[in-house]
Amino acid sequence: MKRFLIFVFVFVLFLPLLSETKKYVRVAVETARVREIPSLEGKVIARLKKGTELEVIEKVGEWFRVYLPDGKTTGYISSRVVVVSKEVEEKEVKEERKMEEKKIKEEKKPVEKRREVVRSGEIEKPLSLFVAFSFDAPFADFKDEYLIRAYNEDGPYSGRYNASASFCPEIGLIYRIKEKIGILFSVEPFISKTKGDILAQIPHPFYFAKFRDLVIKDNFSYSEIPFNLNVTYDAGKFKGVSILLTGGLTLFYSSAEILESFTYADIYPYDNVTLTSTKYKTFSSFSPGLNVGIASFYPFKESINAGVQVKASFGKASFKPEGRDKVSYTLGGLKAGVYFRFSF
């Protein structure tokens, strides 16, 4: 019985020591001083950097007696320059929770914004810059009938040309009025089309129904600037490729140098003629037309699309030189190339 009482006494005596857990503090300032005694006048025995964790031996007033990082040396550090590790951990946990909640909110914002856009009927990034680079194969149709008087007979003058491809840039703006429908206004500047020759057929003075060819100009050319107002429709995807359909009106501004008159001279023995003088006049006009197109596009980034397009435009221009029959020719052509669309 006596031994049992002694055991209980010893157990109760050491119970506080057994149940006591170690306490730590962490330096909360850039540099903290550790002193020999708990006083500002005490000798500095160590300087510790921010974040250094120290084991607490006891608290003496406003000071903590701690073990230095070597685990042997002890000293005193002011409670004003440290925080209890448990408080630090709780603070860090709170900060982490705040950061996590903020991240979740940021991730939800675009989704919520899109939902609001759908609910309100608004279009996200409705305006786009459209830039295309194509080759244009123009439609070849030029009619310029000019009757000339020669040896009491009428001889026809005709202008003709051969189609040739030319480089054709295009720039414009797309404004989406609905999720899949938009309005495109574009212009195709600096299109100059050079064609074949202007040829006159001069009747022979002695042989009936025999004509002599006279090249009046060997490089007929004209220029056109189409202004397009189109409706665009996002037709969805076909075998993984997004399709955009376009179509609408085109206003062609065209300019051409038209032959007003010319003179020639016979060359003996009258099988050939030579050109002696010419007179030209530049005519320009605005002419209505139509255009249709189809494009495929691929989203490189959130605001940048790129793809290829095929487009056809058609129009007619005509002039009425003084004392002449009407001159007319076909505008537009078939275009194929690449394009880029930048949303903002």
Higher pLDDT among residues 213 and 155, named by residue: 213
Which neighbouring-strand residues pair with 201? 213
Q: Look up the CATH number of the domain holding residue 30.
A: 2.30.30.40
Higher pLDDT among residues 241 and 338, named by residue: 338
Q: Is the pLDDT of residue 309 over 70?
A: yes
Mean pLDDT of 126-142: 77
Quick one: 73 and 128 in the same domain? no
Q: How many CA atoms lie within 13 A of 148 on its CB side?
A: 20
Higher pLDDT among residues 121 and 33, named by residue: 33
The count of domains in the chain is 2
Count H helices and E strands in the chain, helices first. Answer: 2, 21
Of 29, 60, 87, the domain-final residue: 87
Quick one: 236 and 292 in the same domain? yes
DSSP string, 252-298: EEEEEEEEEEEEEEEETTTTEEEEEEEEEEEEEEEEEEEEEEEEEEE
Q: Is the pLDDT of residue 184 over 80?
A: yes
Quick one: 164 and 295 in the same domain? yes
- Does some domain include residue 102? no
- Does some domain include residue 118? no
Mean pLDDT of 88-102: 70
Q: Is the pLDDT of residue 163 over 50?
A: no
171/175 Cα distance (integer angstroms) = 14
Q: Is the pLDDT of residue 245 over 90?
A: yes
Q: Look up the CATH number of the domain holding residue 197.
A: 2.40.160.20
Of 87, 115, 135, the domain-final residue: 87
Domain that holds residue 23: 18-87
Look up residue 102 and give its two tokens. Answer: 């903020």
- Does some domain include residue 110? no
- Does some domain include residue 1? no
Quick one: 138 and 269 in the same domain? yes
Quick one: 160 and 307 in the same domain? yes
pLDDT of amino acid 8: 46
- Give this prediction's pTM: 0.56
Mean pLDDT of 121-134: 76
Q: How many CA atoms lie within 13 A of 178 on its CB side?
A: 7
- Does some domain include residue 2? no
- Does some domain include residue 107? no
**SS3 annotation, 210-245:** CEEEEEEECCCEEEEEEEEEEEEEEEEEECCEEEEE
Quick one: 146 and 68 in the same domain? no
pLDDT of amino acid 47: 92
Average pLDDT, the chain: 76
Top-ranked range on mean pLDDT: pick from 129-133, 149-153, 164-168, 317-321: 129-133
E strands present in 302-326 = 304-319
Quick one: 169 and 75 in the same domain? no
Quick one: 199 and 60 in the same domain? no
Of 38, 69, 87, the domain-final residue: 87
Quick one: 303 and 157 in the same domain? yes
Higher pLDDT among residues 202 and 192, named by residue: 202
Positive/negative CA dihedral, 48, 51, 56, 62 = positive
Quick one: 261 and 333 in the same domain? yes
pLDDT of amino acid 45: 92
Higher pLDDT among residues 68 and 168, named by residue: 68
- Does some domain include residue 292? yes
List all residues 6 or more positions away from 264 whose beta carbon is below 8 Å from its beta carbon.
200, 202, 214, 273, 274, 275, 276
Look up residue 197 and give its two tokens. Answer: 């020759």
- Does some domain include residue 150? yes
Quick one: 148 and 58 in the same domain? no
Quick one: 156 and 78 in the same domain? no
Q: Is the pLDDT of residue 201 over 80?
A: no
Percent of the chain with pLDDT over 70: 69
